[in-house]
Structure 1
Amino acid sequence: MYKNKKLSNFLEYTSIGATIILPIFLTHFRGIADGLIAYIAVCFLLYCLIKKEWEWTKQVWVMLAFAWWGWLVICTIPFGSFFGYDPNGNLLQAIGTMRFLLFVVSLQQWVLKENKYRKWLAYVISVCAIYILLNMLSQLIIGYNFLGMPRFYDGTLTGPYEHPRAAAPLSRILLPVTLSACAYLLYRFKGWTGQFYTLLCLLFTVAIMILAGQRMPFALFVFGLGVATVWLKHLRILALITAVITPVIILITAFVSPESFNHLVTHFVNQMANFSSSPYGLVYVRALVMGIMNPWAGLGYDAFKHACSNSIYFHGWPFWDINSGNGGGAIICLTHPHNHYLQAFIDAGIPGLLLFISVVVSVLVQLSKGLNVIATTRSEAVQKAWCVGLFAAVFIHEWPFSSTSNFVNMPLGGWFFLLLGMGLAYSWDYQSKIKESEKEHV
């Protein structure tokens, strides 16, 4: 009994430590971050075996998530190289996807069950967001980040990286950081002073996302701010003012940072004007063709990466028209279809897509619990704003009309699962307190 307690304590505290430092390795050294996620997932399973705690499996979103994962594995079971590639490695990857689901549950039920650990993690996430922001500002002002890397050749601010992959994770983690900072400013400085400082905070973060020069992260970040105003009523007018001023900031960018303006506006206009023949349009059509031709079981895990170049899918839209063209041939093929719903469709067919949608809806419902609570103190207001930011980050990440990376790709996938698990931990804590309060009144 003593040995079991000692082992369970070791598993718990090392997992807490791994979670607290995880944002650092999601910012740099994503391979280590993946290892930490796997470690926490394994520790959680061992802890549950020791303690015989399996109540978490009764949650609706957990049951749906494991149903989706199980169906994905079934669809990936190798029956031979029917599609011109060896799927055995994909089966192992499909099975390994379970580590992300267990990681999220472990944060909700175990690692972040105490508020002090959630606060520590929030501080580390905030530091990482500021670090990325400062690197972007450094590139904007002197042309190089802290590591000596210049802006990307197309003008994109790459932050602390060589390639433009900073804006996507920043658009997610910046939502809880910005919203909680706004809540703090409104309580710290009363009246018009607080309103003014809060507006400056919103305008600064929006300006940074504009100067980053990446269209989708910018659009999703602004969308996330709008989603947040559903619960943060005190920010509605300020968010509206920010939305009005945003086009002006974009116009100023044309003179301050013309490369960012061209990438954000000029390229976007050209791409939308010719979307069907653009790289994104061709990729989406190819994914739809692959899914429609394999509607019930899909093509297994990571199907787009391995089957996109198969000539039987070389069709334009509509794919049944023999004169629709070859859809761009093999040259358009990438490692993923840039949309999670298309990915779920071609990996596991219509059942997999429906299960994936149900998982997204169920976790959003779970995350929303407790967001209507009325904050009466500064700390409560900051925490509520942080939780709303976590909801908004998850919401925009799974917004169906967006382009994004592979669902479990690191580091963006790691950021998503971390923010999701943290948000679920807050909502679970809120529900637990409600249940305890109800018991006391009985």
Structure 2
Amino acid sequence: MTAKRIARLAALLLPFCLLYARAGAELTIGLIDLAFLTHSLRSRDFAWARRPWFVIALLWWAAEILASTPIAALGLGPAGWKSLSQAIVLIRLLLLPAGLAWALDTPAARTRFWLAIAIAEGWILLQCWQQAIIGVNIFGDHRWPDGALTGPFWAPRAGPPYTHLLFLVALPIIAALIARRGIAPKCAAAGIGIIGFATALIIGQRMPFLLAGLGLAVTALAFRPVRLPAIALGILVLLAIPALKLVSPPSFDKLVLETTHQVQHFALSPYGELYTRATVMIERSPWHGYGFNGFLYFCPQSRFDAGLPALGIGPTDLARGACNIHPHNFYLQAAIEAGIGGLLLFAALNLAWLIELGRGILRQPMKLGAFIGVLTYAWPLASTDNFAVLPMAGWLFVMLGLGLALPQSGPAEPERLYTGQSRQPAMTGSYHD
């Protein structure tokens, strides 16, 4: 079995492992990386390592390693070797999108990989509706106490992956349907859009729902064939929010009432406490940070109780949720771990990813979907998970890898979802044989 075939098989398993098998996801990521590096060594082709996004990724990785290396004289690596070891293995994730782009070098391979992602997304959707209608998911789990749907999981984890994958899965199908003659395909496309957003609404998680709105706005701007329907859908969603109180009162309470309360008293909310605490930590060590997972290791220390007097924000309180395993924002996390320099490199890395994916999105719905998925993941004004921890980090690099595998120009790919054939000339470049 060739290295590329191993990588392709591992890639097909990866979306399902991200749903339920974290160890399996780590194994498949390792196989993809190993197969990719083996091919690069055998062919002596490392042109992919000179791509701007990968160069910036290596610089950010180096900043994380430096900040995590125990050098007491320089104040670096206060968490010791456990932090350094975690920083070192970040490279497995940074290699993954390049490995996927190499493995998914044919329309057939991309279609199969997209279908695996679509099945995972569809499973989340179905389990959310089952739980909303009959009260439990397939495993017998009920709604979370705050009203959010858990979908196919035991905890409220359905919203983030569902939202990030929504446009990658839905846009190619919608584009293929509206390209067909007749009213029925166009009605089906409208139905997919409505069901997709209705699911984001009933899940009842605020940030994923807002990010879905961001994705819809980008779709309206970038994809002309659905511009007016997208605007209409946005208006419909806004009108549906009050009706949610009748259809799903727990979701309404979570999205509207709790959000209103937290916005009015944000500084004293758990998120306000977290962000204040994180800002104080950055002020105390603005240049070298605390190393990988520094927030987890050092947040409880009393020296960070100070608050932000200049903004009228008082001292934080552990009892109000000022500490957690991460600061719930990627950019605060980057600054805490590797200082201001690490923050700038991390921001540059996300921008480089978006620039790379942004080429060709006006003509390729699948690439537009990947772009929106990465954009909603990298959006700075959001509550997030830990950046480098599976499963969420895995979804980011899955979307990024598929987006990088798509050609930058040429006809749109939705038709290949049905034909499995390419109408483009063979691709060339450093990702491909």
Structure 1 residues 430 and 55, CA, compared in 2 at 3 Å: closer, same or farther?
farther
TM-score by length of structure 1 reads 0.89
1:170 lines up with 2:162 in the alignment: yes
Q: Which consecutive residues of structure 2, in runs of 5 or more, have no partner in the other structure?
A: 412-423
Equivalent residue in structure 2 for 1:22, among 14, 30, 40: 14
The amino acid across from 2:116 in the alignment is: V
- Aligned partner of residue 315 in structure 1, secondary structure: coil
- Show the counterpart of 2:316: 327
The residue identity in structure 2 corresponding to 1:412 is M
The Cα shift of 1:216 comes to 0.4
Could you say what secondary structure the match of 1:370 adopts?
coil
What is the SS of the residue equivalent to 2:390?
coil
Match of 1:107 among 77, 100, 105: 100
Q: Percent identity?
A: 33
Which of 55, 77, 97 in structure 1 is aligned with 2:90? 97
Asked if residue 345 in structure 1 is aligned to residue 335 in structure 2, the reply is yes
Contact kept? 2:144, 2:150, Cα under 8 Å: yes
Query: Structure 1 CA distance, aligned partners of 2:313 and 2:395?
Result: 39
Closer/same/farther in 2, CA of residues 435 and 198 from structure 1, 3 Å limit: closer
SS in 1 for 2:2: helix
| 2:289 aligned with 1:298 | yes
Which portions of structure 1, spanning 4 or more consecutive aligned residues, are displaced by more than 3 angstroms?
80-86, 192-197, 427-437
1:368 to 334, 352, 358: 358
Of the three residues 173, 180, 186, the one matched with 1:181 is 173
Find the aligned partners of 1:279 and 1:70 in 2 and give their Cα distance. Answer: 32
Q: Say whether the 8 Å CA contact 2:70–2:76 is kept in structure 1.
A: no
Q: How far apart in 2 are the matches of 1:388 and 1:347?
A: 32
CA distance in 2, matches of 1:218, 1:409: 22
Name the counterpart of 2:268. Answer: 277
8 Å CA contact 1:366–1:427 kept in 2: the answer is no
Indicate the residue corresponding to 1:226 in structure 2: 217
Give the count of matched residue pairs.
415
> Deviation of residue 10 (structure 1)?
3.1
Stretch deviating more after TM superposition (83-92 or 286-295): 83-92
Contact 2:407 2:427 in 1 (8 A): no
Q: Cα–Cα, structure 1 residues 420 and 435, in superposed 2: closer, same or farther, change >3 Å?
A: closer
SS at match of 1:326: coil
The answer as to 2:52 corresponding to 1:60 is yes
Residue equivalent to 1:401: 381
Partner Cα distance (1:86, 1:326) in 2:
25
C-alpha deviations, 1:60-90, integer Å up to 9, x for none?
1111110110111011101359799742111
Q: Return the alpha-carbon distance in structure 2 between the equivalents of residues 436 and 22 of structure 1.
A: 26
Query: Hey, what's the Cα distance between the residues in 2 that align with 1:289 and 1:148?
Result: 42
Task: Report the AA paired with residue 268 of structure 1.
Answer: T
- What is the distance in 2 between the residues matched to 1:435 and 1:118? 13
- Taking the aligned partners of 1:209 and 1:407, their CA distance within structure 2 comes to 22
Question: Counterparts in 2 of 1:70-149, with a 5 A limit?
Answer: 70-80=62-72, 86-108=79-101, 110-149=102-141
CA distance in 1, matches of 2:64, 2:344: 12
Range with greater deviation from structure 2 (269-278 or 177-186): 177-186
* 1-structure distance, mates of 2:197, 2:112: 26
Give the distance between the partners of 2:221 and 2:261, measured in 1 at CA. 33
Q: Which amino acid aligns with 1:168?
A: P
Aligned partner of 2:227 in structure 1 is 236
Q: Which deviates further from its counterpart, 14-23 or 221-230?
A: 221-230
Separation (CA, whole Å) in 1 of partners of 2:428 and 2:13: 32
1:169 deviation in Å? 0.3
Residue 247 of structure 1 deviates from its aligned partner by 2.2
Contact 2:70 2:77 in 1 (8 A): no
* SS of corresponding position for 1:148: coil
Residue from 237, 244, 248 that aligns with 1:257: 248
Question: What is the alpha-carbon distance in structure 2 between the residues aligned to residue 347 and residue 200 of structure 1?
Answer: 44
Q: Deviations over 1:246-288 (max 9, x none)?
A: 1222122101110011011110000101111111011011111
After superposition, the Cα gap between the structure-2 partners of 1:399 and 1:173, relative to the gap in structure 1 and judged at 3 Å, is: same
Name the structure 1 match of 2:188.
197
Cα distance, 1:303–1:86 mapped onto 2, change above 3 Å: closer
Instruction: Quote the Cα distance in structure 2 between the aligned partners of 1:168 and 1:30.
Output: 17
Deviation at 1:401, TM superposition (A): 0.5
Using the TM superposition, give the Cα deviation of residue 231 of structure 1 relative to its aligned residue in structure 2, in angstroms: 2.1
Q: CA separation in 2, counterparts of 1:345 and 1:338?
A: 13
Aligned partner letter, 1:253? L
